[in-house]
Amino acid sequence: MWWHGHAMGGWVFLFLAIIRVLWWALIILVVLALLRYLTRGGRSAPFRTTAAEEVLSERFARGEIDEHEYRQRLDTLRSTYRPIVRPWKRLVRRGARSDGGA
């Protein structure tokens, strides 16, 4: 059987080596993800505060707005749609004209 040319070629050993590396990489990624999940206690990432939220917090701390207004505006800020900003692409507003006209 092996002596009649039906043996595995060299490409099969290369393929199996690549599969083995990918398998171990997958196992390592799963272990790291599990460790990260367990060390954070299963909670999701906290909200990142934006500049608008910081200004709102400062106004609340100075007493310019009451707690009800603070919570209402904070909920509005966190519920609004935030587009993904990609620094390599220019942000173009809808309806904006390049000639500066209205």
pTM for the full model?
0.37
Q: Using only the alpha carbons of the chain, give its radius of gyration.
A: 28
pLDDT at res. 39:
83
Q: How many CA atoms lie within 13 A of 50 on its CB side?
A: 10
Name the nearest CA neighbour of 60 among 47, 50, 71, 49.
71
- Give the DSSP H or E segment for 30: helix 10-39
Residue that has been written with the tokens 């367990």 in this structure = 38
Digit-by-digit pLDDT tens for the chain (102 residues) are: 455 556 667 788 888 899 999 999 999 999 999 998 888 765 555 556 678 888 999 999 999 999 999 999 988 888 865 555 555 555 555 544 555 554
Which two structure tokens, joined as six digits, stand for 50?
């934006």
Name the nearest CA neighbour of 54 among 73, 68, 67.
73
